[in-house]
Amino acid sequence: MKLQERDYWLGFNIFPGIGPKRFYHLLKIFGSAKKAWLAKKDDLYKTSIPQKIITNFLTFRDKIDLSLEILRLEKCLIRFIIVEDKDYPILLKKISDPPPVLYIKGTILPQDSLAIGVVGTRQITSYGREVTEHLVRDLIACGFTIVSGLARGVDSLAHRLALGNGGRTIAVLGSGLDKIYPPEHKALAEEIVAENKGALVSQLSLGTQPLKGHFPSRNRIISGLSLGVLVTEGAHKSGAKITSEYALKEKRPVFAVPGPITSPMSEGPADLIKQGAKLVTKVDDILKEIKGNKVAKARPAPSGAGAVKINFNNVDEEKIWQTMVNGVRHIDEIIRQSNLSSAKTLSSLTTLELAGMVKNIGGGNYIIL
Does the pLDDT of residue 310 top 70, yes or no?
no
CATH code that applies to domain 1-64: 1.10.150
Question: Above 60 in pLDDT, residue 369?
Answer: yes
The pLDDT, as a whole number, for residue 367 is 78
Closest CA to 275 of 267, 283, 286: 267
Over 70: is that where the pLDDT of 307 sits? no
- Calculate mean pLDDT across residues 264-289: 90
Report pLDDT digits (tens) over 146-162.
999 999 999 999 999 99
Per domain, the residue ranges of the chain are: 1-64, 105-291, 300-368
The confidence score (pLDDT) of residue 218 equals: 92
Looking at residue 361, what is its pLDDT? 67
Query: How many Å separate Cα 51 from the centre of its chain?
Result: 34
Q: pLDDT confidence of 298, banded at 50, 70, 90?
A: very low
Look at residues 17, 107, 94 and name the one whose alpha carbon lies nearest to residue 54: 17
Mean pLDDT of 99-121: 93
Per-chain mean pLDDT for the chain: 89
For the segment(s) 105-291, the CATH number from 3.40.50.450, 3.40.50.2300, 2.40.100.10, 3.90.1150.10 is: 3.40.50.450
CATH of domain 300-368: 1.10.10.10
C-alpha to C-alpha distance for 173 and 180, rounded to whole angstroms: 8
pTM, two decimal places: 0.79
Strand extents, DSSP E, the chain: 79-82, 101-106, 115-120, 145-148, 169-172, 198-202, 228-233, 254-256, 278-279, 300-302, 308-310, 329-330, 358-362, 365-368
Q: Give the model's pLDDT for residue 234.
A: 87
End-to-end CA distance of the chain: 52
